[in-house]
Amino acid sequence: MKSFLKYFLILNLWVIFFAISSRVELIIRKRLELFDINIIYVSLISELQYIIIGLLLGVDFLICELKRKGAWGVNTPKLLFITLPAFLFGIFMTINTSFLHIPLPTINTYQNNMIEIRIFSIIFGYSLITSFYRKSS
């Protein structure tokens, strides 16, 4: 029964996220039609949505860690070698496509929503939430 409640909670988090996300997207589309919003804000909001998806993917891990006893620990190598570079790559690609326009080898083009930003943002969110754990006492 506990497992059922845990996954029901996670499902509700996903539903709430997608409801808020669709509302934000609707507001952004209306503001874009009026040319009332800067493209950098649109890119950063999009990146934030994918970071939240990564965080939601790691909620199960966090719930399991919350049940354990002991002091909290941080997986520093994971933060330094996976989380930080994923964040920096995602932010750099957002800034590059908005301002710098430095030609980069990419999997996709900006017109196709730059899959790299999505991937790096999801990796960042997931690795961030799974970098924290309980040390066994």
Residue pLDDT, tens place only, 71-83: 999 999 999 999 9
Quick one: pLDDT at residue 6? 81
For the entire predicted model, the pTM comes to 0.78
Tokens 């497992």: give the residue. 3
Evaluate if residue 37 carries a pLDDT over 90: no
Evaluate if residue 52 carries a pLDDT over 80: yes
State the Cα–Cα distance between residues 35 and 32, nearest whole angstrom.
Answer: 5
Please give the C-alpha separations between residue 111 and each of 97, 107, 108, 115, in angstroms, as whole numbers: 10, 12, 8, 10
- Three-class DSSP category at 74: strand
Q: What is the pLDDT of residues 116-137, one digit of tens each?
A: 778 889 999 999 999 999 987 6
* Strand-strand pairing, 72-74 and 132-134: antiparallel
For residue 107, the tally of other CB atoms under 10 A from its CB is: 9
Could you list the residue range(s) of the whole structural domain that residue 11 is in? 2-134
Query: What total of structural domains would you count in the chain?
Result: 1
Quick one: pLDDT at residue 131? 95
Quick one: pLDDT at residue 16? 92
User: Do 131 and 78 contact (CB within 8 A), yes or no?
Assistant: yes
User: Do 122 and 51 contact (CB within 8 A), yes or no?
Assistant: yes
Evaluate if residue 106 carries a pLDDT over 90: no
Among the residue ranges 2-6, 39-43, 102-106, 113-117, the one predicted with the least confidence is 102-106
The pLDDT mean for the chain works out to 82
